[in-house]
Structure 1
Amino acid sequence: SSVRWCGVTKLVSARELRSYDVATLSEHMDWISVMTYDYHGQWDKITGHVAPMYPHPDDVDVTFNANFTINYWLKKGADPKKIIMGMPMYGQSFSLADNNDHGLNAATYGGGEAGDSTRARGFLSYYEICTNIKKRGWKVIKDPKGRMGPYAYLRDQWVSFDDTAMIRYKSNFIRRMGLGGGMIWALDLDDFTNTCSCEPYPLLRTINRVLRGYPRPGPNCDINADSSMEQDEADNNRVQYPAWGVADSPATDPTCGGRIFTSHPSDCHKYYLCQFGVLMEQMCPAGLYWNKDHCDWPDKTSCRMGETDNEANKPTFTPPTTITTSRPAATHPPAPPMPDTTTKPSTSGTDATRPPSLPDTGYKVVCYFTNWAWYRQGIGKYVPEDIDWTLCTHINYGFAVLDGNTLTIKPHDSWADIDNITEFKSKGIKVLIAIGGWNDSLGDKYSQLVNNPASRANFVRTIIEFIEKYGFDGLDFDWEYPKCWQVDCKAGPDSDKEGFAALIEELSMAFKPKGLLLSSAVSPSKIVIDVGYDVPKLSRYFDWISVMTYDFHGHWDKQTGHVAPLYYYPGDTYDYFNANFSINYWIEKGADRKKIIMGMPLYGQSFSLADAKENGLNSKSYGPGQAGEFTRAGGFLAYYEICHAVKTQGYTPIRDPEGRIGPYAYKGNQWVSYDDVSDIRRKSQFIKRMDLGGGMIWALDLDDFRNRCGCGKHPLLKTINHELRGLRSSTSDCT
């Protein structure tokens, strides 16, 4: 709960009412915001609508809709005037397994591609969705019966969302039901800059027109890209929304006898659900029986095949507790998966004293801070206050992005927590703004920048203005990668290599008189190093170079592999896919070893095995592993999710006795590779033996920062500090 204007409110799940004493909450809360969204998403492995208004005949669980949820809260004793109905200003996106199968419940292989601005796989803001439709040819499909908002697709990309018409309908539903109002997630996801030429905040203004008398009628905000729609699709978009008389509240419709559920008279697998005043036959998942109000194990029910529908089996109006998807409880929208960050700054480049608890050994510990971790639910939420400032010498706050039109830096978000980050300056920590990252490196804009002297000069001037405005200590330049745009070395021109080096030289010349720091995160790949980096020149002008010695293997390989091998392991396809080779190759090419910072992952790459019995290295996989409970990104698990899985969920860890790679763990068809305390210790000792400049981690929010697994807070980061900076600790392996 939260305190607002001296009142108490609460955001609550759309489904988990068994966790709530509804009558008591309703009595003491000023209002209750029901998160009637995230009913479906990438975790389902099939397409579905983010926030259905009513059930659809093809629904796996016909209670997954706002109408059922709101009515159920009321049935359980909530005051209608205290119920605030949630509406999404975003969409859940998917990557289709088959481009030709693009309807509801179509098979998917993961979340949709990250948006240009939100940069979270499986998630698009409304302004990104309307841009895709209006400018990129996405085709829009609407439910002709108005039971849910539209969905749109292009090739293998698919997204479901609410448009202004559905938001208007839901707002009228709020009025008809006598509810207390509407809630949105979130302000920054509506089209607040009028990107799609309707009006600023078209969805939020629609709510205000219905609920608060905002001036009408408002513009026509239909975002259909008519030129891209085939005729049959256009016909499908003639929507007739459900009449209020039959759609408001099936819970009280007399046609169903005042009940939502009714048992089947003879088949224990079946039951009836009241939909729009009509009892519709439903089927429990295989192996389960209907038990009064939910699907359950047969031995927990009184139903036997052939029994009739007696009063003992009549429903008592409780929602099903068994569902057929792996969807987590409804929460605020997730943010991104792996390799991309979000950081915020400290101030100038002046020297400051080291934290008193640790000596200055000369080794850097560079930590990436991601502000999207704030959006994670429960114990996964990570904010600046969670940073243990004694464990980092430098914090990189990523990512700002490069404006594709002006080729200048611009913030990725509103920088709401910048003050909390810059407080670390007083503690002796340097904070840099990171620009770029994987998603922002899409396309040719960085190539345009580095290959144009005038653009470079303008970038240097404006980046200094940006740094001084927000109080950063410097810039971390993370273009992935010169010549090899997002690892495609055929994409960029050869001139990228020279142009990138020229930009770094010009930045360095401008930064040094001001005491500003300049660094970069660079590729560990031999191929990219050869064609993309003028290593001697970069080494001369960067203050340090963080080598991303992780993500050597992942689900894209179609077979299992370790995320960050330290040494070559027999069976590896390439003998240069390991940290030992990468670090030595950077040095061989001319890098000052004291400027080389070795990257270490505080996460694992996960896989779904093609055959659960084939669970070793190089085993075939059919896609990314299941999304984590908190990080919610397929193919990616935080260390605190991995150690918890090993300790409490029966995952079996396997270790290399020679320490060439970190462990992997598996259970059923789920498989994950990662670094544990022993491996982080081994890599930190490698840094000392090689006389490198220090270590870098991705990322602060992925370590076990809450001591979930009993090895202390920040066990991996503390291990680095124990080896490199003399921190007194005795952390042991947590898996």
Structure 2
Amino acid sequence: NLFQICTNIQKKGWKIVRDRQGRIGPYAYLRDQWVSFDDIGMIRHKSEYIKAMGLGGGMIWALDLDDFRNECGCEEYPLLRTINRVLRDYKVADPKCVLGKGQHKPAVPSKPSTVKPTQKPPGWDVEGTSPEAPQPALEACNGNDFLPNTKQPISRLGFYTLQSCPSGLYWNKGHCDWPENTPCHPDSTTTEAPSGSADGGSSVPTVSTSIIDIPSSTQHYPSIEGEYKVVCYFTNWAWYRQGEGKYLPSDIDGSLCTHINYGFAVLDPNSLTIKPHDSWADIDNGKSKGIKVLIAIGGWNDSLGDKYSRLVNNPGARAKFISNVIEFIEQWGFDGLDLDWEYPKCWQVEQQVDCHKGPDSDKQGFASLVQELSQAFKPKGLLLSSAVSPSKAVIDAGYDVPALNRYFDWIAIMTYDFHGHWDKITGHVAPLYYYPEDIYDYFNANFSINYWIEKGADPKKLVMGMPLYGQSFTLADSSNYALNDPSYGPGEAGEFTRAGGFLAFYEICERVKSKSWTVKRDPLGRLGPYAHMGSQWVSYDDIADIRRKSQLVKTLGLGGGMIWALDLDDFRNRCGCGKHPLLKTLNHELRGTATDITMENCT
């Protein structure tokens, strides 16, 4: 039981070994005796996990095994009280105690040991701490990248939450630790491992602590209310639009995005290094609002040709690219990188993708680049994400899904552009579910997301893409305007976006409001509406469709939603539904934010 374990530690010199990241409880040993157990810190961690998972509560076995008589000098029922503090807002203050703290201080190990999961832990050479060790000067903290404290923000699924250490412990580079092990804590005896051995002449047994470094787990906490990502793409060409179509970084509403992907930087075809496509002078406007801002590289236009394939298939080029990217990110103050190669193995051919065009090695090469980027980014606290294809053919040919899942912080599935003017028949830009008129049963968001999960993606790492624009068509016969009716090609360009086959949501809603376009909707909500007038036809998502997609994000336990793009919503309220009606709907559904958007739809 607990009081027997703590008695062995406090009075009989048993040594303690702890997991650096707190994923398992400690164990203690002396000669041929060994015991694993949960201490206050682990009980608190499990109780926090109960809250994160939304479970019903906790159960203990058993009342008589806790330190119910306070034999160890902490408090009566220290483990059970810890559960109550976390789960039931127990009002009794934390005790001023740590297992093993007293007349004997735990030692700092000379070097953390790294144990592979297939190996048994080797023996540790644990050094003792001399009671007479000098206190460090406060200046010794200069240069450290953290401050010792009982609370510390930590990143979970890309969000920072406040981690509280149990009473008597302090934050120490990724985990709660003894005060004596925390560099620069006022009670610390040394900032370096002290000299001397555990049996260096003292007749009093020394309590010692070792740290083992267990390889990272791939398990993640579920998305819960307030933790969903809302990833927003900002396009640097939007500020060149005329009049009310111009969108500047200063137009970003910082409350509506958790992350912004700033698109795009490009890959230099000769040096295979990242380079800016335009000026980044205004990027601080986004960061000053407290948003995480990533630089996105690639996109449809920059993915043309073989340069990304040459990059990923050359280990030397990958290493050079990674070094260059880190320098670029640090120079411009970004928080990470978003990879938008469209697509490994499946290269572009006349606005379509051909999965026979690229070499098979693209799949492994891309996975290797992602792994190497992740390994270089994590020590620097940089984020790594990607926008990926929703196409079954591309997923099969181009993505090593388990590897990408392991190394990306999140994966945004571009669940849009399922249909467009290239089909020569009308179709919806982003169906949510299969509908009988569709030619393929896998051209919809529901199939794509579930297929990524089936292939090995953690749902909580997946972010559903949602279009704030429509795909437009010119009908072959204006009297035939249903789904799958023939079209000549792209619809007429919008007055602001000026690209054939494409209309921003604010251009669509204005056509419906002011030009009397006719709107058709699926009564079952399997796909968004389409609107038409004369020879012009456009499919898009409205408020109700963004709401339905947000609800699917929650139903499937995904990590959040992604929008393309900020400048395409009705950000100036041209149609009278309020500013950013689609993005505000997404935030209201996923993050519980208040909204002034009361309409069911804006068209």
Structure-2-length-normalised TM-score: 0.62
1:418, CA displacement in angstroms? 2.6
Find the aligned partners of 1:686 and 1:442 in 2 and give their Cα distance. Answer: 33
Contact 1:715/1:731 (<8 A) preserved: no
Larger radius of gyration: 2
Find the aligned partners of 1:571 and 1:421 in 2 and give their Cα distance. Answer: 43
Where 1:597 maps in the other structure, the secondary structure is strand
Who is 2:307 aligned against?
Answer: 445
Who is 2:447 aligned against?
Answer: 581
Who is 1:102 aligned against?
Answer: none
Who is 1:631 aligned against?
Answer: 497
Who is 1:149 aligned against?
Answer: none
1:371, CA displacement in angstroms? 1.6
Who is 2:510 aligned against?
Answer: 644
Q: Which runs of 5+ in 2 are unaligned?
A: 1-156, 163-223
Who is 1:711 aligned against?
Answer: 577
Find the aligned partners of 2:317 and 2:254 in 1 and give their Cα distance. Answer: 37
* Closer, same or farther: CA 351–720 of 1 in aligned 2, 3 Å: closer
Residues 35-72 of structure 1 deviation map (CA, whole Å, 9 limit, x = unaligned): xxxxxxxxxxxxxxxxxxxxxxxxxxxxxxxxxxxxxx
Letter in 1 for 2:547: R
Find the aligned partners of 1:645 and 1:679 in 2 and give their Cα distance. Answer: 19
Who is 2:318 aligned against?
Answer: 456
Who is 1:371 aligned against?
Answer: 236
1:413, CA displacement in angstroms? 1.2
Find the aligned partners of 2:286 and 2:580 in 1 and give their Cα distance. Answer: 19
Find the aligned partners of 2:248 and 2:343 in 1 and give their Cα distance. Answer: 29
Who is 1:478 aligned against?
Answer: 340
Letter in 2 for 1:398: G
Residues 695-729 of structure 1 deviation map (CA, whole Å, 9 limit, x = unaligned): 00000000000111111000000000010000122
Q: Which runs of 5+ in 1 are unaligned?
A: 1-348
The reply on whether 1:695 has 2:557 as its aligned counterpart is no
1:350, CA displacement in angstroms? 10
Q: How many residues align?
A: 380
Who is 1:663 aligned against?
Answer: 529
Who is 1:557 aligned against?
Answer: 423
Structure 1 segments, 4+ long, off by >4 Å, are 349-354
Contact 1:544/1:595 (<8 A) preserved: yes
Where 1:721 maps in the other structure, the secondary structure is helix
Contact 2:260/2:293 (<8 A) preserved: yes
Query: Superposed, which structure 2 residues align to 1:365-514 within 5 Å?
Result: 365-424=230-289, 427=290, 429-486=291-348, 487-514=353-380
1:423, CA displacement in angstroms? 2.2
Q: 462, 477, 489: which is aligned to 1:596?
A: 462
Who is 2:598 aligned against?
Answer: 731
Q: Which segment drifts farther, 413-422 or 398-407?
A: 413-422
1:435, CA displacement in angstroms? 0.3
* Closer, same or farther: CA 403–588 of 1 in aligned 2, 3 Å: same
Residues 57-92 of structure 1 deviation map (CA, whole Å, 9 limit, x = unaligned): xxxxxxxxxxxxxxxxxxxxxxxxxxxxxxxxxxxx
Letter in 2 for 1:660: R
Find the aligned partners of 1:501 and 1:488 in 2 and give their Cα distance. Answer: 20
Find the aligned partners of 2:592 and 2:315 in 1 and give their Cα distance. Answer: 45
Find the aligned partners of 2:447 and 2:283 in 1 and give their Cα distance. Answer: 38
Contact 1:350/1:515 (<8 A) preserved: no
Where 1:390 maps in the other structure, the secondary structure is coil
Where 2:297 maps in the other structure, the secondary structure is strand
Where 2:234 maps in the other structure, the secondary structure is strand
Where 1:368 maps in the other structure, the secondary structure is strand
Where 2:288 maps in the other structure, the secondary structure is helix
Contact 2:462/2:560 (<8 A) preserved: yes
Letter in 2 for 1:384: P
1:420, CA displacement in angstroms? 2.5
Where 1:461 maps in the other structure, the secondary structure is helix
1:482, CA displacement in angstroms? 0.2
Contact 2:493/2:500 (<8 A) preserved: yes
Find the aligned partners of 1:662 and 1:722 in 2 and give their Cα distance. Answer: 19
Where 1:644 maps in the other structure, the secondary structure is helix
Contact 2:232/2:564 (<8 A) preserved: yes
Contact 2:254/2:286 (<8 A) preserved: no
Find the aligned partners of 2:459 and 2:280 in 1 and give their Cα distance. Answer: 35
1:422, CA displacement in angstroms? 3.1
What is the aligned-residue RMSD (CA, Å)?
Answer: 1.5
Residues 191-225 of structure 1 deviation map (CA, whole Å, 9 limit, x = unaligned): xxxxxxxxxxxxxxxxxxxxxxxxxxxxxxxxxxx
Contact 2:252/2:286 (<8 A) preserved: no
Where 1:389 maps in the other structure, the secondary structure is coil
Find the aligned partners of 1:538 and 1:463 in 2 and give their Cα distance. Answer: 19
Find the aligned partners of 2:568 and 2:232 in 1 and give their Cα distance. Answer: 11
* Closer, same or farther: CA 350–633 of 1 in aligned 2, 3 Å: closer
Find the aligned partners of 2:438 and 2:160 in 1 and give their Cα distance. Answer: 45
Who is 1:135 aligned against?
Answer: none
1:361, CA displacement in angstroms? 1.3
Where 2:579 maps in the other structure, the secondary structure is coil
Find the aligned partners of 1:350 and 1:700 in 2 and give their Cα distance. Answer: 20
Q: 484, 506, 520: which is aligned to 1:654?
A: 520
Letter in 2 for 1:675: D
1:491, CA displacement in angstroms? 1.3
Find the aligned partners of 2:326 and 2:161 in 1 and give their Cα distance. Answer: 24
Letter in 2 for 1:734: C
The reply on whether 1:542 has 2:404 as its aligned counterpart is no
Letter in 2 for 1:719: T
Where 2:255 maps in the other structure, the secondary structure is helix
1:385, CA displacement in angstroms? 1.1
1:453, CA displacement in angstroms? 0.6
Where 2:507 maps in the other structure, the secondary structure is helix
Between the two proteins, what is the percent identity of the paired residues? 77
Contact 2:225/2:590 (<8 A) preserved: no
Find the aligned partners of 1:453 and 1:407 in 2 and give their Cα distance. Answer: 12
Where 1:529 maps in the other structure, the secondary structure is helix
Letter in 1 for 2:401: V
Find the aligned partners of 1:360 and 1:687 in 2 and give their Cα distance. Answer: 12
Residues 494-519 of structure 1 deviation map (CA, whole Å, 9 limit, x = unaligned): 00000000000000000001000000
Residues 228-249 of structure 1 deviation map (CA, whole Å, 9 limit, x = unaligned): xxxxxxxxxxxxxxxxxxxxxx
